[in-house]
Amino acid sequence: MNAPAAALEVPPFAVIPGRQVKEILRGRENAVTKVVEATYRLHAAGRTVNPPSSFLRFPDRPTSRIISLAASIGGDEDQVDGIKWIASFPANVRSGIPRASAVLILNDPATGYPYACMESSVISAARTAASAAAAAQRLGRGRPRPTRVGFVGTGLIARYIHTYLSGTGWSFEHTGVHDLSADSTAGFRLYLEQADPTSTVTVHRDAETLIRTSDLVVFATVAGRPHITEPSWFRHNPVVLHISLRDLAPQIQLSATNIVDDVEHVLREATSPHLTAQLVGNRNFIHGTLDDVIAGRVTPPPDRPVIFSPFGLGVLDLAVGKYVYDAVARSGQLHLVDRFFDELNRYG
């Protein structure tokens, strides 16, 4: 006879605010980067479900959007389902508040009940930065260690990427910055000078000079269409972390080695790789995924630029969110909402 199935219970529901998320993640850049790399491996092995992101757009607010990223991670211990709901409203910046806001919902794989609602703009920034740090490390193999880093775009994501680069062992003699906003540039420069007083910070009036003088280039802008069009700016073969996805014209992509997080995901929503694929009619210019590089299946040659263009996978948010949830739970500091699910008797 088959053993009776174990009785299922509705899990308690917790709310984890941004303050707790930041406390858990602070100083754990190496650990979070390892979580992200492990999740890439699970994704490549087919142990995740990561459907295409859904974009909610507004006819009366064309620059704004809200994106839903549903996902699931399999595994014996860390199995989790859930969804990130992240808004991008660029006009917020003019009022002095961040462009992006987000929540992450974690669902119990056994019952489907949500068991946590987490502030997720910090989780999103951390997983993005950890992905960038992992890419910088992996794509830089076989090349001289970069001593000059340049940031095109100086918002919160740029700050997190710099924090994660520093937290995973990187240091730079020179840091270049370029942004169309003087206030953002000034704020980021102040952060850099406090974070690493040994690095010389240079503000560039144009992207060309920054790119030409950087071994590692980070794009973290809100650009909606390509604005960098000249391949010769990259003739010195830098590693490019194309985090904002829409900065580079097709001719630059075609002149470089292109690494992505997921081929199917990145070829949509008018990203630079998507525009390049539409132009040439194929995806042969994409040489592999970051997991291919991690596993040694792809080795970017050092004699041409290498560009990492990550679309951003919901499974990464889930993995980092689960890491945070477990740490808060172990600390005994979960904020539980009593009787959040109150209609639990089928017949009243």
Res. 101 pLDDT band, cuts 50 70 90: very high
Residues 6+ apart with CB under 8 A from 225: 246, 270
Rounded distance, CA 333 to CA 327, Å? 9
Cβ neighbourhood burial of 348 (10 Å; 0-12, 13-18, 19+): exposed
What type of residue sits at position 95?
S
CB 256 within 8 A of CB 247: no
Cα angle vertex 315, ends 310, 318, to 5°? 125
Q: Quote the pLDDT of residue 85.
A: 97
C-beta atoms surrounding 340 within 10 Å: 15
pTM over 0.85: yes
CATH number, domain 131-309:
3.40.50.720
pLDDT digits (tens, 9 = 90+) for 143-182: 999 999 999 999 999 999 999 999 999 999 999 999 999 9
Measured in residues, the chain has a length of 348
pLDDT digits (tens, 9 = 90+) for 194-216: 999 999 999 999 999 999 999 99
State mean pLDDT over 121-141: 96
pLDDT above 90 coverage of the chain, percent: 88
pLDDT digits (tens, 9 = 90+) for 8-32: 999 999 999 999 999 999 999 999 9
Which residues pair with residue 48 across a beta bridge? 73
Q: Quote the pLDDT of residue 251.
A: 98
CB 210 within 8 A of CB 178: yes
Q: Quote the pLDDT of residue 1.
A: 47
- Pairing type for strands 200-203 and 148-152 reads unpaired
Which sequence spans correspond to the domains of the chain? 14-123+314-336, 131-309
Rounded distance, CA 149 to CA 143, Å? 14
State mean pLDDT over 37-61: 95
Rounded distance, CA 343 to CA 323, Å? 30
Residue 76 has pLDDT above 80, yes or no: no
Instruction: Enter the tokens of residue 18.
Output: 């941004």
For the chain, the C-alpha Rg in angstroms (whole number) is 21
Res. 99 pLDDT band, cuts 50 70 90: confident
E strands along 89-214, which residues? 100-107, 114-119, 148-152, 174-178, 200-203
State mean pLDDT over 289-307: 96
CATH topology of domain 14-123+314-336: ornithine cyclodeaminase, domain 1 (3.30.1780)
Q: Quote the pLDDT of residue 2.
A: 57
